[in-house]
């Protein structure tokens, strides 16, 4: 079974990732702070101004109304009704008056809205808290704000009476609070509308201003989707440049210059790779004949009927063996050069099950000290491709398992199909591929045992690179998963 592992992700809080969103949000926040500061300053200033005007009225009114509560006999006979109710003449409706003797409230009244209505009782019922607040007002000082339980907020001023008592005059703060609340409501509506309009207009302005940067990002996205690692690459058109004096224009200019350098580097790299491929192909092709000639002469010399010294025989055998190995290496290099050049492979239906059976038979003959097992489906598995090259893929994988694992290692070959993909899995329970080798295991001339390679034995490190190249030429892929006690090569090929 093929298991696909996904990297574990982290849960993160949502953020405003785009520069446009952050600039717009910052503009709106700054405007909101400015509007809030202006609104608070205006409300405080209006409240202070109206309260000051109220204090001025208190000073002008004086203690006439609370004094009339103290000395009703001073009123004329014409004002007999006022003698009982206090003198409300020239007093604004809602004016409050109170008389205190030795810190105790003796009289408290308020001017009604209709001063001509003589039936209205002017007396005010005060709670114990109201009396304490009135008694605590300093005499001859500045005006103070108090809250009367039955009347609401008042601005009051205390002064000495003629008999050593205290006269308190107060004016309601209702008009002041109404004006302040009205200003708060108007400011909230106006500033709210200004924030909405500015946010919308600011978003459009920021978006228009950042259009060149968006074009740069779009160009960078197209470049990132190009296969820069292989083949000849043609970069897309450059990002449109704006005013070079602006930051966006400078970014666009620097990005276009970078694209030019990248394109030049890719062109030089592609030309160098083409020259290297051409050299490898030509060298491999030219070496085949002299290598075959050397091997032929060595074998011919071994067949000579005359007596040959043992040392000479041994030398000829080594020449024949190494020339054979060199011939295999030349053939592998020539195959890789052809695959790099994009030479088309054969595309015929191939019975992969039959190839696996043949490959296992050859592997058992070459490595009888290993345990070879098969896991095949009941029905034959068919793929489209080059039978000879696919046979080479199987032979290289099994030879790799045989050469790099100790005797007694169990090697299992599995063939599976599913979702239009055929999986060829070669697994062994050997020591595993060293971690430092795994990242480049499919690269050319990669060898797990450097000592054996330096000593002249073993292959050239081209077996797994041929596996990867042939698999990719068939539209598939190959992967490795290895740790001590388990090594798995998985080849994926499109099903027929």
Give every CB contact of residue 438 below 8 A, 6+ residues apart in sequence.
480, 482
Phi, psi at residue 151, to the nearest 5°? -120, -25
What is the rounded CA–CA span in Å between residue 367 and residue 487? 18
- Domain co-membership, 253 together with 315: yes
Start-end of H helices in 367-461: 387-403, 450-454
Which 8-state DSSP code applies to residue 145? E
- Domain co-membership, 318 together with 296: yes
What is the rounded CA–CA span in Å between residue 460 and residue 373? 28
Coil, helix or strand at residue 439:
helix
User: CATH no. for residue 479?
Assistant: 3.30.565.10
User: CATH no. for residue 250?
Assistant: 1.10.287
Helix (H) / strand (E) element for 362: namely helix 352-366
Token pair of 117, please?
């209505």
Q: Is residue 243 part of a domain?
A: yes
Predicted pLDDT at 102: 86
Coil, helix or strand at residue 104:
strand
Give the count of alpha carbons within 13 A of 358, CB side only.
13
C-alpha distance from residue 459 to each of 95, 276, 396, 411 (Å): 112, 21, 11, 20
Quick check: pTM over 0.75? no
Question: Scanning the structure block, which residue is given the tokens 């592998």?
Answer: 332
Other beta carbons less than 10 A from residue 462's beta carbon: 22
What is the rounded CA–CA span in Å between residue 286 and residue 340? 18
- Domain co-membership, 236 together with 142: no
Q: Are 447 and 458 in contact (CB under 8 A)?
A: yes
- 278 phi-psi bin (left φ>0, alpha ψ -120 to 50, beta other): alpha
Q: Is residue 204 part of a domain?
A: no
Q: Is residue 193 part of a domain?
A: no
Q: Is residue 28 part of a domain?
A: no
- 286 phi-psi bin (left φ>0, alpha ψ -120 to 50, beta other): alpha
Token pair of 127, please?
């709670």
Q: Is residue 322 part of a domain?
A: yes
**Chosen domain end from 308, 343, 378:** 343
Roughly what angle, to the nearest 10 degrees, separates helices 310-340 and 463-473?
30
Question: In the chain, how many H helices and how many E strands?
Answer: 12, 12
Q: What is the DSSP string of 227-260?
A: -TTSS-----PPPPP--TTSHHHHHHHHHHHHHH
**Chosen domain end from 278, 309, 343:** 343
Tens digit of pLDDT at every position of the chain (496 positions): 334 344 444 444 345 567 778 888 888 899 999 999 999 999 999 999 999 999 898 888 888 888 887 655 444 444 444 444 566 677 888 889 899 988 888 888 888 877 666 556 678 888 999 999 999 888 887 888 999 988 899 999 998 887 788 899 999 999 899 999 999 999 999 999 999 998 898 888 888 877 777 777 777 777 777 766 666 666 667 766 666 777 777 777 787 788 777 777 777 777 776 776 666 666 666 676 777 787 787 777 778 777 878 888 888 888 888 887 777 777 777 777 767 666 777 888 989 999 999 999 999 998 999 999 999 888 888 999 888 889 989 999 999 999 889 999 999 999 998 888 999 999 999 999 988 888 888 887 776 654 444 444 455 677 888 888 888 888 899 999 999 999 999 999 988 7
Predicted pLDDT at 216: 78
- Domain co-membership, 239 together with 300: yes
Q: Are 394 and 415 in contact (CB under 8 A)?
A: no
- Domain co-membership, 251 together with 332: yes
**Chosen domain end from 343, 377, 393:** 343
- Domain co-membership, 150 together with 244: no
How long, in residues, is the chain? Answer: 496
Q: How many domains does the chain have?
A: 3
- Domain co-membership, 246 together with 294: yes
- Domain co-membership, 133 together with 104: yes
Q: Is residue 140 part of a domain?
A: yes
What is the rounded CA–CA span in Å between residue 227 and residue 463? 25
Give every CB contact of residue 349 below 8 A, 6+ residues apart in sequence.
382, 383, 384, 496
Predicted pLDDT at 453: 41
- Domain co-membership, 399 together with 480: yes
- Domain co-membership, 418 together with 484: yes
What is the rounded CA–CA span in Å between residue 486 and residue 49? 87
Q: Is residue 118 part of a domain?
A: yes
Q: Which residues pair with 147 in a beta bridge?
A: 153
What is the rounded CA–CA span in Å between residue 108 and residue 124? 6
User: CATH no. for residue 92?
Assistant: 3.30.450
What is the rounded CA–CA span in Å between residue 419 and residue 492? 11
**Domain range for 461:** 348-494
Coil, helix or strand at residue 203:
helix
Q: Is residue 211 part of a domain?
A: no
Give the count of alpha carbons within 13 A of 404, CB side only.
27
Predicted pLDDT at 479: 92
- Domain co-membership, 324 together with 363: no
- Domain co-membership, 299 together with 431: no
- Between vectors from CA 143 to CA 139 and to CA 149, what angle results, nearest 5°? 95
Among 220, 224, 205, which residue's Cα sits nearest to residue 251?
A: 220
């Amino acid at each position: 079974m093929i298991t696909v592992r996904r990297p574990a992700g982290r849960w993160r809080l949502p953020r405003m990732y785009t520069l446009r969103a952050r600039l717009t949000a910052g503009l709106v926040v700054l405007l909101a702070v400015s509007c809030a500061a202006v609104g608070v300053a205006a409300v405080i200033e209006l409240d202070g101004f109206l309260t000051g005007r109220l204090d001025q009225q208190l000073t002008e009114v004086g203690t006439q109304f609370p004094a009339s509560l103290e000395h009703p006999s001073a009123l004329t006979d014409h004002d007999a009704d006022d003698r009982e109710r206090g003198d409300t003449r020239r007093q604004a409706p809602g004016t409050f008056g109170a008389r205190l003797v030795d810190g105790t409230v003796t009289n408290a009244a308020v001017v009604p809205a209709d001063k001509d209505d003589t039936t209205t009782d002017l007396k005010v019922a005060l709670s114990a808290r109201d009396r304490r607040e009135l008694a605590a007002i300093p005499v001859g000082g500045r005006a103070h704000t108090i809250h009367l339980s039955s009347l609401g907020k008042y601005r009051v001023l205390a002064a000495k009476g003629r008999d050593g008592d205290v006269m308190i005059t107060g004016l309601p703060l209702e008009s002041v609070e109404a004006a302040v609340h009205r200003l708060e409501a108007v400011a909230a509506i106006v500033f709210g509308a200004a924030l909405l309009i500015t946010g919308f207009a600011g978003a459009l302005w920021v978006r228009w201003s950042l259009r060149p940067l968006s074009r740069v990002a779009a160009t960078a996205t197209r470049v990132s989707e190009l296969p820069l690692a292989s083949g000849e690459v043609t970069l897309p058109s450059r990002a449109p440049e704006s005013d070079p004096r602006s930051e966006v224009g400078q970014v666009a200019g620097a990005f276009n210059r970078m694209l030019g350098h990248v394109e030049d580097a890719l062109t030089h790299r592609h030309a160098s790779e083409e020259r290297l491929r051409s050299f490898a192909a030509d060298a491999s092709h030219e070496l085949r004949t002299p290598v075959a000639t050397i091997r032929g002469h060595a074998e011919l010399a071994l067949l000579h009927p005359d007596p040959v010294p043992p040392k000479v025989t041994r030398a000829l055998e080594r020449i024949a063996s190494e020339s054979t190995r060199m011939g295999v290496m030349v053939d592998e290099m020539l195959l890789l050069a052809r695959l790099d050049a994009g030479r088309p492979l054969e595309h015929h239906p191939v019975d992969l099950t039959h190839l696996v059976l043949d490959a296992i038979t050859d592997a058992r003959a070459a490595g009888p000290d290993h345990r070879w097992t098969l896991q095949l489906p009941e029905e034959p598995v068919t793929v489209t491709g080059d039978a000879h090259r696919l046979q080479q893929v199987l032979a290289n994988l099994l030879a790799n398992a045989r050469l790099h694992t100790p005797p007694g290692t169990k090697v299992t070959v599995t063939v599976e199909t599913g979702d239009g993909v055929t999986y060829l899995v070669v697994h062994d329970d050997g020591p595993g591929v060293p971690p430092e080798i795994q990242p480049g295991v499919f690269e050319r001339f990669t060898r797990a045992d450097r000592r054996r390679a330096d000593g002249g034995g073993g292959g050239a490190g081209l077996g797994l690179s041929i596996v990867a190249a042939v698999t990719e030429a068939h539209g598939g892929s190959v992967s490795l998963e290895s740790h001590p006690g388990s090594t798995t090569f998985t080849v994926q090929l499109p099903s027929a």
